[in-house]
Amino acid sequence: AQSVTQLDSHVSVSEGTPVLLRCNYSSSYSPSLFWYVQHPNKGLQLLLKYTSAATLVKGINGFEAEFKKSETSFHLTKPSAHMSDAAEYFCVVSEPSGTYKYIFGTGTRLKVLA
C-alpha cells in the first residue's frame, strides 16, 4: 500500500531564509508525487509534480523538489521564503493503479516570520 509521511507538522522560518519541508513516501510502484499549497479557507494549488521524468522538479513561486528513490523522499525547498508563502503544504502520492487515488500527507504548516 502506498503512504506518505510529512515529517514536520509545523515549520517556522524567517523571511529571506531557506525553506525545507520534508516528505517521505512508501510505494510498491513507480509513484507520481505532488506538492500542493493551501492558503487559509482556500482550495488547493499545485506547486509541482514528479512523474518519472527529471528527478529535480521546478515548480511555481520558486519552489522545487528532488525525487530521491534511494531515500524514498520528495522534499520541498525554496531558497528564500516570502511572507506570502505562509500556508499549509501537502505532499501527495498517486496510486498508478486503476483507482487513480491520491494519498495525502498530514500537512505541514509553514510560518514565515518578519
Partner 1 sequence: GAVVSQHPSRVICKSGTSVKIECRSLDFQATTMFWYRQFPKKSLMLMATSNEGSKATYEQGVEKDKFLINHASLTLSTLTVTSAHPEDSSFYICSAREAYYNEQFFGPGTRLTVL
Considering the complex, state which of residue 15 and residue 88 has its C-beta at the smaller distance from partner 1: 88
CB 4 within 8 A of CB 103: yes
Considering the complex, state which of residue 63 and residue 90 has its C-beta at the smaller distance from partner 1: 90
Q: State the residues that interact with partner 1 by CB under 8 A.
A: 32, 36, 41-44, 49, 51, 88, 90, 94, 99-102, 104-107, 109
Strands 56-58 and 64-68: antiparallel
What's the CA dihedral at 52, 109, 87, 101 to 10 degrees? Answer: 40
Q: Cβ 44 to partner 1, closest distance in Å?
A: 4
Helix (H) or strand (E) holding 93: strand 87-94
Q: Cβ 104 to partner 1, closest distance in Å?
A: 5
Q: Cβ 106 to partner 1, closest distance in Å?
A: 5
Considering the complex, state which of residue 15 and residue 22 has its C-beta at the smaller distance from partner 1: 22
| Closest C-alpha to 91, from 6, 18, 26 | 6
